[in-house]
Amino acid sequence: MPHPREHEYALETWTIHAGLDPTDTTGALVPAIHPSTAYVRPALDEPGDFTYSRRGNPTRAALEQVLARLHGARRAVAFGSGMAAVTAVGQLLPSGSHVVLPDDVYGNTHRLYTLILPEQHITVDFVDYTDPHAVERAIGPTTRMLWVETPTNPTQNVVDLAVVADIGHTHDLLVAVDNSWLSPYFQQPLKFGVDLVVESTTKYLNGHDDVMGGAVLTNDAALGDRLAFLQYVGGAVPSPFDCWLLLRGLKTLAVRMDRHQANALAVARFLARHPRVERVYYPGLAEHPGHAVALRQMRGSGGMVSFEVRGDRDTARRVAEGTRLFRLASGFGGVESLIAHPLTMTHASQIGLAIAPSERLLRLSVGIEAEADLITDLDAALAI
């Protein structure tokens, strides 16, 4: 039997062996960290592969190559945080642009487009992306981009990426997708025709709650070059050590994501049967309105579960503060289980707006602990 080529390996195999430096002659299984900020030129007019670490760094280059491969992208550009990546995409837009965003968009993306980018004369509308007609109606003469989250944060609406990409390209618009909720292990949006994918690499790609990072991925050479220029001049780059930690975290992506999903599905099924729970949001449940679309474009439904308690905000507070394994924190994607109250912790900028999440809504980042322990913890908190 012929030996398989590297590109023929399954993702689960490839991520374990990715990120090694082919020029390394030491035989080290772990790649080196290159902390140098400047690099010697062979000659005045020969800059070499690297010149200054803000422009390019060997450790960051290795990370970007791995991220591109994971998404099936021609180009990956790494940033110092997820919001730095989101902001870089916003900087692609000319002054006077209009953007269509989801009506339950992530809180800091909402802040960026309502509190910062208006100073560059960027305007926005918020729509339900599960309704293609609503997206079409929101497009105007100055619209330049459709910004998508799927599943959305925190109410887990599932958006048909192929449909939205077709709408966007019919109107000559950029289509960008925040994929942080699922990671490329469960969803690869470029396959459905979108132009840009944003990842908060802080989340599942790292998986250990100890690195800040972000990335933008594309198959468009011109967009890739412009993003690299924004990365270099804007300076929001990850450190070599953070890139190295991300490369290390990626080696366990497959096993972590499978465990996150198995636990999340068990938790969602438990909550759906609980008398003190009004509603559960998880695309892996057959009763979820986006379940059929999820089966078409997602390998799995991920580790995030949202639910509404029966009662009021005080009820939600008691549950959020009553868990022990689910720690009260606003991040997600790490091996530890977290619980958050979005209206207070992540989406406070939307308080008083029609798009604000329910005061009874709680969001879970389901970790990789023992399934029975997680369910017992939630059951005890719901009984308080």
Residues classed as catalytic: 54, 106, 178, 203
- Annotate 282-296 with DSSP letters as a single string: -TTSTTSTTHHHHHH
Measured distance CA(321)–CA(339) in Å, rounded: 9
Rounded CA Rg of the chain: 21
**CB burial of residue 218 (10 Å; 0-12, 13-18, 19+):** buried
Structural contact between residues 280 and 307, judged by C-beta atoms closer than 8 angstroms: yes
Structural contact between residues 241 and 95, judged by C-beta atoms closer than 8 angstroms: no
Measured distance CA(248)–CA(73) in Å, rounded: 21
Q: Tell me the H-state helices in the chain.
A: 11-17, 58-71, 82-90, 107-111, 132-138, 161-170, 183-186, 221-234, 240-250, 253-273, 291-297, 313-322, 342-345, 371-382
